[in-house]
Structure 1
């Protein structure tokens, strides 16, 4: 039975999804990795302008855009009014040891400001491994508290957990970690989905470098959908566009509710000059998003399978208050 959610969270999910209640979201909240992609030297103004140029074209062709407060304000102000806005909360990267990763927040930035600027939803990225003991418990508490704060402001929360290896001798890009990955992603969805996240933004559960069996891909995505108590969408994780489009279709045919993808769509554009960038975005970037949106509209599971609005009873506003029901 769908969970009843408050009007702000309902509106936030509606304004970030397509009319079919599935997610077609452009991610451009990258900061350090984004700066590394740009020619040197590129100052703050140029980095902000390039991001804004990409978003001004592509935002007309997605249900929402995910941006950051560091380089993203110009893009926010110039994006399509028809597109929902997600804003990121965390600093880029992580603190702590590479095998015990913790999250830090952007100084001077919080959920209240995200609400105040008119965003539709909050997003937080965390590094998470379900077997990380006290570190995992610490991250779980962070997710719980951020969800509580987002819901206090009646905004939905998108949580993006990235897996990592607990063993320095087993890199994430290794065959040994690839064997663990389906279980890690599935268990992550189960645990974090119960802590107040409204939507999970997840990695593809199979490392396709080591496993090209589509039957395994389908089974792993289906297992997430059976386990997760909330909708999940697929992140692109830096793979090429054709690979990402294939993964989105596999995921959505097996229970995912859409995509939240970035570099797979726009990465070639950021190193071009302004005229070349616009030409690339209009000829290739838009076509990529239209292809992805067609996939999710056809195959993705609507988030309304999970959530329902409050009943429109007489004088509902007298008892209305943001929910903290997690």
Structure 2
């Protein structure tokens, strides 16, 4: 089943994709977590906003030469958005993090932004991050469902693509880094993809976690000795999650290292899933945080031009296995050109 795209949504998706119709995008919308990491590496209590802006400018300037698009936030990322080498722009619409004092990791939108304003600021697509698990209490998930419906309608009204990123979490008391949670993760990811693939939400691209934790997959380079799944089971989890939606979907790197993310994409390819690209952030630039904090902008720029480029080229190589999203929206490849 394919969804017919409106002209604005089609144009937006084209602008963030490569010539094959694959989304090979870099992500640089981290805010709170990045600020903390930079301060920690520098050994100070807090970093100024100008440091975040500079960090984002450098990442954008270098990495968009090797990406089809960049994801930024409108709080610190707008100066960087002017330096993206003519590539597509996704802008984040949600506030960073969540209120840990409240149950359910409820989301919130940026106060002085709307889809109209993000589009006016140059966004080709709108991105939302939602912490979600099908196992959460119904009243909490009901709030989240209504919230996503509103954003979907806002994106429809402004005819701009809606990328929804879902990140799972534990509600059964287990540690999210544990083998117990790793065993539950396939159901969390599959259930989220199934839910938000429904037409009522108006999501155009699902930005999803891979349905397994690599360090618990026996027989992989990332395996650390404790097993949640055999290699064959992991491949099957990829297939089951992928078959739970007809929507285009892309994988996020979820903070893993570059080698682990590359092996993850190799596994996705081996499983035969029709994934449509990536939005990859920390797996390309995370190791440069200490360089920027301790040695400054010039050293970080040099690092990006060597190690950062190497990291993103590794991702691009792995993306040869990704599929175009044209088929999923009923487009012929030649209609795209």
The yes-or-no answer on 1:204 pairing with 2:210 is yes
Q: Quote the offset at 1:107 in angstroms.
A: 1.0
Question: What aligned pairs does 1:46-65 form with structure 2 within 5 A after superposition?
Answer: 46-65=51-70
Q: Which moved more, 1:36-45 or 1:23-32?
A: 36-45
Q: How many residues align?
A: 307
* The one of 102, 106, 118 aligned to 2:106: 102
TM-score, normalising length: structure 1: 0.90
Q: Secondary structure at the match of 2:163?
A: strand
Q: In 1, Cα distance between the equivalents of 2:68 and 2:74?
A: 20
Structural mapping, 1:1-326, within 5 Å: 1-38=1-38, 39=42, 40=44, 41-81=46-86, 83-95=87-99, 99-132=103-136, 133-167=138-172, 169-194=173-198, 195-212=201-218, 213-252=230-269, 253-272=272-291, 273-296=296-319, 298-308=320-330
SS in 1 for 2:26: strand
What is the deviation of 1:98? 6.4
Give 3-state SS (helix, strand or coil) of 1:3's partner.
coil
Give the Cα separation in 1 of the matches to 2:99 and 2:47.
26
State the alpha-carbon separation in 2 of the partners of residues 107 and 67 from structure 1: 17
Give the number of the structure with larger relative contact order, counting CA–CA contacts within 8 Å between residues 6 or more apart.
1
CA contact (8 A) 2:185 2:211 kept: yes
Q: Distance in 2 between matches of 1:18 and 1:218?
A: 27
Q: CA RMSD in A?
A: 1.7
TM-score, normalization by structure 2:
0.87
Distance 1:196 1:4 in 2: 12
Q: Which moved more, 1:116-125 or 1:220-229?
A: 220-229
Structure 1 residues not aligned, in runs of 5+? 311-326
- Contact 2:95 2:108 (8 Å CA) reproduced: yes
